[in-house]
Amino acid sequence: MRNLRLYIMWAVIILLVWSVDGTSLAKETGQTPRPEVEEKLQLYKKFEAIYGIPWNYLAAIDQYERSIKKKKQSQEQQDNPEIKRLTAITISPDLWCGFFNPDSLDQELTSISFFQGIGKDGSGDEKADLNNDYDVLTTIIDFLSDYGFQHDDFKIGLWNYYKRDAAVRTIMGFSKIYDKYQTIDLDYHAFPIPKRYSYSYRSTWGSPRGWGGRRIHEGVDIFAGYSTPVLSTGYGIVEVKGWNRYGGWRFGIRDINGIYHYFAHLSSFSKGLKEGDIVEPGQVIGYVGSSGYGKPGTSGKFPPHLHYGMYRDTGNTEWAFDPYPSLRRWEHQKKQPRPEKNETKK
């Protein structure tokens, strides 16, 4: 116990003196990071310095949890304004305090350990507080450290914590994006059709569809000419590429906010782009077509257009929501990315 207290004391000292210089980040991105974003980044890097876990792993876990409970977290903050959290990682009271612990709000290290809870003290106050960012991060790191922080070991640890393949895939995807850009300020989006091309669209969310059985339209159709470039709408990972009998040639991209973006009825894909690749806002991913409604290669059963859908992961399932408001917002941004100059039609 004495050694543990000494370790925590030194950890707290490092946390207090460690600082991260945001100047290099500003030079890389061409903009000054938002204060709350920079504060979170500093926190992740402090824990990397103490425990050796890559900061982008912590950022990815935090972002995954934030993305699956966005509305719930907002409501909790309204109900408990005295609780100030920077991170969104939450651990269930049963796991934190111990399943058979009669006190679901227990913060005493001795009783938590007795009931085999995983709660740890990371702030040095000899308490394990579910609502303390330092305690929560220390606890999740302690759990994952049993498996190791190498790529494959970390994936095993994530699965044993979340017991969900989709959670592991999403977190690893987020960490890959953060590692590439060395920032967590990646909320910019782009409209999926370049402005210099002619296109039209309106809200068709929920309209009935009959091919393949009765269903509703889970997206918005953006009509444009054949071979019009289709752009990635955000920073994300290509999860799916290939044929779907409804959507034809299509892409499925998971963005950094956990939203799954569905691009369907393409005529072709951007050369070299494959599943697992990182994409950016405004990057060409494919070209408008009229594929779908049949076996692979079926085309021409409807006018050329891009079917664009958005799906939110709740941690248990995914549900579709109307992308029209997002499209309108991205369309009227002051800065609209254009396709890369070296991109040619396929």
d(CA 66, CA 316): 14
Choice between 340 and 126, residue whose per-residue pLDDT is larger: 126
Mean pLDDT over residues 295-310, rounded?
A: 95
The torsion angles phi and psi of 335, rounded to 5 degrees, stand at: -110, 120
Within-domain flag for 338: no
| CA 139-144-150 angle, 5° bins | 145
Average pLDDT across the chain, whole number: 86
Number of domains composing the chain: 2
Question: Per residue in 231-285, pLDDT tens?
Answer: 999 999 999 999 999 899 999 999 999 999 999 999 999 999 999 999 999 999 9
Q: Which of 150, 181, 212 is a domain's end point?
A: 181
Cβ pair 296, 205 in contact under 8 A: no
251 and 320 assigned to the same domain = yes
Angle at 258 between CA 257 and CA 259, to 5 degrees: 95
Domain match, 212 and 143 both: no
Instruction: Report helix, strand or coil for 288.
Output: strand
Which of the four pLDDT bands, split at 50, 70 and 90, describes residue 338? very low
Q: Is 345 helix (H, G, I), strand (E, B) or coil?
A: coil
Residues 6+ apart with CB under 8 A from 258: 63, 64, 67, 68, 170, 312, 313
Q: Give the H or E element holding residue 203.
A: none
Residues facing 299 on adjacent strands: 291
pLDDT of res. 318: 87
Reported as a single tens digit per residue, the pLDDT across 103-113 is: 999 999 999 99
- The region, left, alpha or beta by phi > 0 then psi within -120 to 50, assigned to residue 267 is alpha
What are the angstrom distances between the C-alpha of 209 and each of 212, 220, 261, 302? 8, 13, 20, 13
| Average pLDDT, integer, range 184-202 | 95
Structure-token match 């210099």, residue found: 196
Tell me, yes or no, whether 346 lies in a domain.
Answer: no
Domain endpoint, select from 129, 149, 181: 181
Query: Per the domain annotation, does 223 fall within a domain?
Result: yes
> Which structure tokens are listed for 327?
């499209």
d(CA 45, CA 178): 13
Half-sphere exposure of residue 294: CA atoms within 13 angstroms, side-chain side: 8
Tell whether 220 and 173 lie within a shared domain. Answer: no
Q: Which domain holds residue 162?
A: 2-181
Q: Is residue 341 part of a domain?
A: no
Q: Which of 146, 181, 216 is the last residue of a domain?
A: 181
Angle between helices 165-181 and 55-68 (to 10 degrees): 130
DSSP annotation of 230? E
Give the pLDDT score at 36.
Answer: 85
Question: What pLDDT is attached to residue 47?
Answer: 97
Q: Are residues 273 and 153 in the same domain?
A: no
Task: Sort strands 305-313 and 220-224 into parallel, antiparallel or unpaired.
Answer: antiparallel
